[in-house]
Amino acid sequence: MSDIRYNWTKEEIAEIYNTPLLDLVYRAATIHRKYHNANEVQISSLISIKTGGCPEDCAYCPQAARYHTEIKVHKLMSVDEVNGIADKAQTMGASRLCMGAAWREVRNNKDFDQVLDMVKAVNAKGMEVCATLGMVTEEQAKKLADAGLYAYNHNVDTSEENYESIITTRKYEDRLNTLQNVRKAGLTVCSGGIIGLGESTEDRIGMLLTLSHLNPHPESVPINALVPVEGTPLGDRPLVESWEMIRMIATTRIVMADSVVRLSAGRVQMNRETQGFCFMAGANSIFMGEKLLTTPNPDANEDMKMFDVLGLKPRKAFQYEKQEKVEA
């Protein structure tokens, strides 16, 4: 049977997830080596181009206006500012730049035009440009693609069953519709989720079921460990255990063998050994730079040292060969 499947069952994913850890990592590492260069890790850089004041109620998010958090609200950045940050990120070795905005959805206004200009500017540097701007229509996604956007991030975040307990201001279906619009526009898809929200193992499996049933699979799958932020409803959640993250990454690697799996939020809480284990289990992308969107990320020099110690090399831009073309 092919490793690339869109019909994984809950039972199959549960069986993989519950495999004894070392067997699980061994299996994931084996698949990883079949589809990827295991010594290459993509370096992405994140910019929060518009921070805070979001109307949504995502229980994990410090940028939701309704929660009282310590973040510094900031209106949309200028193209110049983004240009400067992108240059620095590229010097540091980043091949992808992800621009995040605390929006519920994209509106057809001046701000959107400004984002299109940012996309053009960063694309001209030869970087993969990714954006995460909330819900988009097919037309908006096409405009982004025409401006040179390479990927669109839109996470399903958790299982369909658990969604309502985390976000009430939109539906799981809205998320899936946006992912479809992004596909139709010919963009690559970046979609994953968060663990540590208080979800059950079944929810984690349910989330992977949804993602692995997308055909084609998302080219990138970010796995975030919740960064608990004071003032949000999930501010008191305990930190995700390293082994849980490793297990989740390994399962993701096995069910979406040719996707890039990103060890996303939560690295500040992990030592090098844990991260090394995650790379062994099939993670092959990280966010580098002092900040994620609003919360801290490991120091870039420390990350470079980790790459040195582990013998990892940054992956160059535009290496993903789409296995199948989607009909427009």
Contact positions vs ligand SAM (CB under 6 A): 60-61, 63, 100, 102-103, 132, 134, 154-155, 157, 194, 224, 226-227, 229, 265, 293
Task: Look up 54 and say whether it is catalytic.
Answer: yes
Selected binder of ligand DTB within 134, 192, 218, 298 (CB under 6 A):
192
Contact 105, 121 (CB under 8 A): no
Query: Residues 21-60 vs ligand DTB: string with x where CB under 6 A?
Result: -------------------------x--------------
Residues in Cβ contact with 166 at an 8 Å cutoff, skipping those fewer than 6 apart: 58, 59, 60, 157, 158, 197
Contact segment (CB under 6 A) with ligand SF4 among 58-66, 214-222, 254-262, 304-312 equals: 58-66
Kindly name the residue from 27, 96, 130, 253 that is annotated as catalytic: 130
Q: Which of 96, 190, 247, 315 is catalytic?
A: 190
Instruction: Please give the size of the binding site for ligand SF4, defined by CB under 6 A.
Output: 9
What CA–CA distance (Å, rounded) separates 107 from 74? 18
Is residue 327 a contact partner of residue 8, using CB atoms and an 8 Å limit? no
Q: Which is nearer to ligand DTB, 28 or 98 (CB)?
A: 98
**The entry of ligand SAM, ligand DTB, ligand SF4, none that residue 127 binds, CB within 5 to 8 Å by partner kind:** none
By CB under 6 A, tell whether 288 contacts ligand SF4. Answer: no
CA dihedral sign of residues 159, 163, 166, 171 = positive
Tell which positions 78-117 bind ligand SF4, by CB under 6 A: 102, 104
Cβ 224 to ligand SAM shortest distance, Å? 4
Q: Which is nearer to ligand SAM, 155 or 162 (CB)?
A: 155
134 close to 103: Cβ distance less than 8 angstroms: yes
CB 203 within 8 A of CB 195: no
By CB atoms closer than 10 A (0-12, 13-18, 19+), residue 156 is buried
Q: How far is CA 66 from CA 52, 191, 232, in A?
A: 10, 25, 9
